[in-house]
Chains A and B, each alone.
Chain A
Amino acid sequence: MIKRTVSDRLFDWTNAALMLLLIVVTLYPFYHVIMASLSDSNRLIAHQGLLAGPLGFNLEAYERVLANPNIFSGYRNTLFILVFGTALNLLLTAMGAYGLSRKFMLRKPIMIGIIFTMYFTGGLIPTYLLVNNWLGWGNSMLALIVPAAISTWNLIIMRTSFEAIPESLIESAKIDGSGEFGILLRIVLPLSMPVIAVMILYYGVGHWNSWFNAMLFIRDRELFPLQLILREILVQNDTSAMQLGDAMGDQQGIRESIKYATIMVATLPILFVYPFLQRFFVKGVMIGAVKE
């Protein structure tokens, strides 16, 4: 080991300090939300600025959020979209990616046609008219699932990963009489579990976080996904569904706590699974970064 100079050590310490600062700046907002959601609402409203810990302890906001039927229906709708949307995503992406990893005459033109859509799009209005007017999917879950069936980026990641499977394996399966569907199901997919995990996560997180298409196409509140309910509460400041019996004076107080508790209820699933799944997410970027 080469001896470390003074400037070396100075650099290491500054670097570590910067990274610690980054950790604090990244995590504090979440810490703040947790603490504020547990706080007593009257003390919270009188407080300004950073929180070291909860101000008092009160779970009333959580009770109100969990009693809000919109949160429940939002979760239900989001789970529906997540399950069926991701299933369709996987089906179409896996078949397409496998096809594109094989040799056939139209492979190149199809690939070019797909890549082109990454750089040039028809835009919001024609897409809206297509889904809403011509396909007639307004106010239907189909509008949230089918138009998002394939992400080009994910398709390319999956194709890249399929291409790494040795040709000899596929050839020998063919000699044994397997068809292409059989090869995909029995050889390629079982060898590609990591990339399938990546796909489930990317598509799943995409469905979980998506709100804009629901705002465009869904009119019935019963069908709102969670993110759209959250938008009403957090961005449009509408907590009325959880404050029906409140006297005027109390409203402002509990409103803040309700907002924080809502964030917690909607984000906890992600915060819980994230540390365990993080390496899969990263893997996706790594595969995607391999240049063609």
Chain B
Amino acid sequence: MQKLMQDLSRNKAIYLMVLPMVLYYVIFKYFPMYGSIIAFKDFSVSKGILGSPWTGLENFQAFFDSIYFWRVIRNTLLISVYQLVFGFPAPIILAILLNEIRKKTFKSIVQTVSYLPHFISLVVICGLILDFTSRDGIVSTIIEWLGGERSTLLGSADNFRSIFVTSGIWQELGWSSIIFLAALSGINPELYEAARVDGAGRFRQMWSITLPGLVPIIMILLILRIGGMMDIGFEKIILLYNPNTYETADVISSFVYRKGIAEGQDYSFTSAVGLFQAVINFVLLIGANWFSRRVSGNRLW
């Protein structure tokens, strides 16, 4: 304690500088964590957090028993798995292919173009998605060319998840590839030289040099992905879904938003749902980190 006081007076200016930041995290990150205890209460705004009566695990029980429980869990996990299976490898493949392009200008044109959609606002992107998948939209037209039928694609629950995941890949493919390109630029060119001398072809080089060079960053991102399995952001969901598609579109976070803020004000119940999601995510993250540390030696901490 005395040492701390000494440090406080010696580094007064530093403490003064980090103070606003610390306050920010305490108020806007840690206070809501403390506020999550309303998940164990029957909270009402007038009584406040401390004044509201405890209800134990009642709100969690209500969520597990509700007809929505399996629906939101299933949708959240399915969208996550689709994103993992299709969305995760895509930028890796793009980075490897970009790495093989010899013409510098062509490479930088492809990069510039492919990063662009990342900067377009979600509202505009969703406006485009709704327009292109409408009855007269270009996606419908292409489906008709291919022998399918024209329809308002987002009017039916069948298509929601594929449209959600595909458009997400379209928007983030290029941007997500940057981190892999950064890792590739760190690979020693002499490795390729040596491989060529040993008679390795292009594919063999990609397989034996490029891909292994990416493994550490792939593992790190995979851990983060798995730690976010239960967390599908609600912003894009609530821009694209409608009551007809709730069946396949409603995920945990959009459910929390709808029941807690948009339609009802069931703060305790939805806090319980949110807390459930946060805890599962955290456990998944720790588990994935532990597993990766054991198996590949790569870890977040």
Contact = CB atoms under 8 A, between A and B. Distances in A.
B85 interface: no
Contacts of B4: 105-106
Interface stretch (B63-71, B157-165, B275-283): B275-283
Contact of A126 (B18, B38, B183): B38
A117 B203 CA distance: 42
B123 interface: yes
A87 B75 CA distance: 39
A123 B122 contact: no
B97 A18 contact: yes
Nearest to B98: A19
Contacts of B253: 124
A96 B13 contact: no
Most buried by A among B25, B127, B138, B277: B127
Interface in A167-181: 179-181
**Residues of B contacting A: mostly:** helix
Interface string B85-127: 0000000001001101110001001111111110111111011
Interface stretch (B29-37, B76-84, B207-215): B29-37
A231 B122 CA distance: 10
A216 interface: yes
Contacts of A32: 132, 138
Contacts of B182: 285-286, 289
Contacts of B130: 234-235
A110 B183 CA distance: 29
Given A105-B4, A130-B35, A278-B115, A180 B13 contact: yes
B127 A5 contact: no
Given A2-B196, A124-B274, A278-B115, A235 B25 contact: no
B257 interface: yes
A57 interface: no
Chain A interface size, as a band, is 35 or more
A116 B100 CA distance: 38
B54 interface: no
Contacts, number: 250
A98 B17 contact: yes
Contact of A16 (B3, B101, B112): B101
Interface stretch (A63-71, A192-200, A263-271): A263-271
A113 interface: yes
Given A105-B7, A285-B178, A126 B138 contact: no
A23 B123 contact: no
Given A124-B274, A150-B24, A209 B116 contact: no
B32 A48 contact: no
A104 B11 contact: yes
A241 interface: no
Nearest to A212: B235
Contacts of B275: 123
Most buried by A among B123, B175, B203: B123
A34 interface: no
B114 A29 contact: no
A23 B111 CA distance: 9
Contacts of B257: 124
Contacts of A7: 201-202
B149 interface: no
Contact of A125 (B112, B131, B274): B274
B32 A19 contact: no
Contact of B14 (A50, A104, A113): A104
A130 B33 contact: no
Contact of B17 (A19, A47, A99): A99
24 contacts: A11-B100, A12-B102, A19-B106, A22-B114, A23-B109, A23-B110, A27-B116, A50-B138, A96-B21, A114-B25, A119-B285, A121-B33, A122-B31, A123-B275, A128-B260, A146-B28, A149-B28, A150-B24, A180-B11, A209-B121, A211-B123, A234-B124, A282-B178, A285-B178
Interface of B: 3-4, 7, 11, 13-15, 17-18, 20-22, 24-25, 27-36, 38, 45, 94, 97-98, 100-102, 106, 109-117, 119-124, 126-128, 130-132, 136, 138, 140-142, 170, 173-175, 178-179, 182-183, 196, 201-203, 217, 227, 234-235, 239, 253, 256-257, 260-261, 267, 270-271, 274-275, 277-278, 281-282, 285, 301
Given A105-B4, A123-B274, A129-B35, 8 more contacts: A15-B100, A30-B116, A33-B128, A99-B17, A106-B15, A125-B261, A130-B27, A274-B119
